[in-house]
Structure 1
Amino acid sequence: MKSVNRGTSRVTIRRFEPGDRAAFLSLYETVFDRDRRPDWFRWKYQENPYVDHVPIVVAERNSDLVGCRSLFAQEMRGYGQVWTAFQPCDTMVHPEHRRQGLFGRMNERTLERYADDGPSFFFNFPNEASIQGNLDHGWHEIGTVPLYYRFQDPVRALERWTGTGDSEQAEASSESRTAAALSRSLSNAISGSHRTGDRLLAPDADVRLERYETPPVETLERIYRRSIPDGIHTNRTAEFYRWRFANPARGYTAYVAKRGTEPVAALVVSTVGDHVRIVETVPRAVESERAALNRLLVAVLSEYENRSFVTAFGETLPTPVRYRFYPDTRPPLSTVVRPSARTLLARDLRAESAVENSSVADWTFSRLDLDTT
């Protein structure tokens, strides 16, 4: 435990204690403007199968929790090795206590805590507010991983980013109503074009498809093991899938392609508001079952054609551009929406991992590798 005096105000940097949960959730709502319930905290930090404690460091001032440095434990695999790694996440400093060095002190305490007994490495995708702080404490920049967007309803999606929509159109003039009608016509035309294009692109794969409201974890592990990529990624086991899909803040639907009786590919989605996230595809060596994965993709796009857009992160789809998924790191999409591409940082804690010297090509991600899926 470390304490810092600022006049009559004492800051204590210490490990998380069981009685801190309510204060953590309150601070989370203040910082991120999102409500999270105790069952979410239990799932993410207490029931994580890869750690035997709650891996959080907190900053306390005058008995108030004003900062947290949290870690998401994962078992990682790559190039014939398996490691335990921590993904820093949910980093928080109360708005009234920022620019006072709390992030740095929590980071230092975290590194000290796991210097001799802990994960092999840290990796994460920090936001703009914390990326420099990570670099200052020894993280190395590996590269950028894009987020792919497919716009099912481009007009509605654009309204989402520009902040316009039905509420502002309620007081619209006749010209605005005409523009709205044209927008609807354009949306219908684009949606129709998508449907026609998807049918033409649908691969002739000798598979039948099955849909599951609850992802079949043993089946997903079986498919994963058919073709495991060399790149660094979360090790997929039935235990991992069972815990990962127990996230109470999300719901997941799985689609499995079978060749005869053998499952050969799968795709998992999660709906969030007006859009759909493709969170997982297996096998993770996506080119090994290109036709089956694309067949699954066409089925999913048809089912969710009324959603405004669909996203896929990293190495999720064999041929994303073919199905009009565009990365937010390059034109044309980078000129329309604010990029949400993620910059991967890593820091070794053990010599055997040596991920600091890797390149982004040495990693293979789906959204399921992220703490926020």
Structure 2
Amino acid sequence: MSHGDDYTVRPYDGDREGYLDLYETVFGARKSREWFAWKYEDNPYADHVPIYVAQRDGEVVGARSFFGLELRAGERTYTTLEPCDTMVHPDHRRRGLFTRMTERAIERYADDGLDLFFDFPNEQSLPGNLKLGWRVVETVTTHYRVQHPGALAPVGEESLVGRALDAAGATAMDAYFGLRGRRVRRLGRDVTVSHYDGVPADHLCPLYESHVPKRFHANRDETFYGWRYDNPEYDYTTYLARRDGEVVGAAVVGESAAKGVANVLDVHPLTDRAANAPVYAALLRSLLQDVSAIPLVALRDGVVPPRVLSGFGFHPDTALPLSKLTEPATLVARPLEDEWTLDGRSLTDPRDWQVSICEKDTA
């Protein structure tokens, strides 16, 4: 669709190389074909590549991309798209391309019967989302364990500068964690933990199905586990917690040496958090030993109780000192119809959402 200004806004049509070129121009890093294939071409929640592009003189100068996921709340599932990797070439900004690409996408996916959009926009794209009908649900707290303060440098959106703790040094940090950990060392001593390369869906699916939240969250079925953790930019390890031989908990960790971060993307059980504090403690105790060389460990709020996180040296990014160094995630949502309640659950009520890092498209 052209507006008489030499720009054409249209669905993606084999524009991979132009898209990757634009990504490099906008974000300063070249993504691989394997990354693009995983995120968009092989996404099982879309039967097409869910991207709208803006083109001028044969060049892709803008892109509005979407990350397909299926949400679930109780026994109900919902088709969703998560806007991501939004790009406009520096030479073509302030010409309405973001709005035009988004409006085309809204029109198309409303006709397709999509249930909702949800995402975690940064400070730059949040105002545009709000203008086009998204509403803020909440600020989502991420808890960080800063393991090597002096080693942290700004490399990508998931990193932060550890100046606030830099003076402590690695030795002092080890001592600090040792003192903090005493509060939870008594928890989970009857729980054994083993780890596996990759993500064993045959163990995780039954565990998930026995503790399905009634709030909006990613539906963790075999389709999800078979695709979500194939991101070529991360190495994934699963930790299984057992009590008397029975699997009672799990954690999935995505590790990126290049980004200097280990993301705890998923922790199970997803419900009964207070009763399962010993299981979470055993999982954290094991996985933190394995990622001790990684400068930063991240875990979203909502499952592991705060006292367990605090006991293992995690700090929320919504409080000092990390609030001075990070940009907490903002969860926003938008239905395709003018109905902000789905099956009795409000899209704008934080109590109806439970999101982990696995719902984010970048880890």
State the TM-score, normalizing by the size of structure 2.
0.89
Question: Displacement, 1:79?
Answer: 4.4
Distance 1:357 1:279 in 2: 22
Aligned letter for 1:4?
A: H
Matched, 1:82 2:77: yes
Question: Displacement, 1:163?
Answer: 9.2
Aligned letter for 1:35?
A: R
Matched, 1:191 2:187: no
Distance 2:230 2:153 in 1: 32
Distance 1:94 1:258 in 2: 51
Aligned letter for 2:184?
A: L
Distance 1:227 1:79, change over 3 A: closer
Percentage identity across paired residues of the two chains: 38
Aligned mate of 2:138, from 136, 143, 148: 143
Aligned letter for 2:361?
A: D
Q: State whether residues 28 and 36 of structure 1, in contact with CA within 8 Å, keep that contact through their aligned partners in structure 2.
A: yes
Alignment of structure 1 residues 130-279 onto 2, 5 Å: 130-157=125-152, 161=160, 183=167, 186-195=169-178, 197-198=180-181, 201-202=184-185, 203-273=187-257, 274-279=260-265
Q: State whether residues 192 and 282 of structure 2, in contact with CA within 8 Å, keep that contact through their aligned partners in structure 1.
A: no
Aligned letter for 2:235?
A: G
Distance 1:204 1:38, change over 3 A: closer
Once structures 1 and 2 are overlaid, which stretch shifts more, 281-290 or 65-74? 281-290
Larger radius of gyration: 1
Distance 1:187 1:286 in 2: 35
Aligned residues: 348
Alignment of structure 1 residues 6-17 onto 2, 5 Å: 6=5, 10-17=6-13
Distance 2:161 2:289 in 1: 27
More helix by share: 1
SS at match of 1:201: coil
Distance 1:158 1:91, change over 3 A: closer
SS at match of 1:3: coil
Once structures 1 and 2 are overlaid, which stretch shifts more, 198-207 or 93-102? 198-207
Question: Displacement, 1:72?
Answer: 0.9
Q: Deviations over 1:211-241 (max 9, x none)?
A: 1012211211111112111111000012201
Aligned letter for 2:128?
A: G
State the TM-score, normalizing by the size of structure 1.
0.87
Distance 1:114 1:161 in 2: 36
SS at match of 1:108: helix
Distance 1:196 1:329 in 2: 23
Question: Displacement, 1:198?
Answer: 2.7
SS at match of 1:51: coil
SS at match of 2:318: coil
What's the counterpart of residue 361 of structure 1? 351
Aligned mate of 1:312, from 294, 299, 303: 299
Distance 1:88 1:141 in 2: 14
What's the counterpart of residue 175 of structure 1? none
Q: State whether residues 286 and 293 of structure 1, in contact with CA within 8 Å, keep that contact through their aligned partners in structure 2.
A: no
Distance 1:121 1:204 in 2: 39
Aligned letter for 1:277?
A: N
- Structure 2: 5+ residue stretches without partners: none
Question: Displacement, 1:267?
Answer: 0.8
Matched, 1:64 2:50: no
Aligned letter for 1:269?
A: V
Q: State whether residues 140 and 356 of structure 1, in contact with CA within 8 Å, keep that contact through their aligned partners in structure 2.
A: no
- Structure 1: 5+ residue stretches without partners: 165-179
Aligned letter for 1:142?
A: V
Q: State whether residues 181 and 313 of structure 2, in contact with CA within 8 Å, keep that contact through their aligned partners in structure 1.
A: no
Distance 1:224 1:162, change over 3 A: closer
Distance 1:161 1:363 in 2: 26
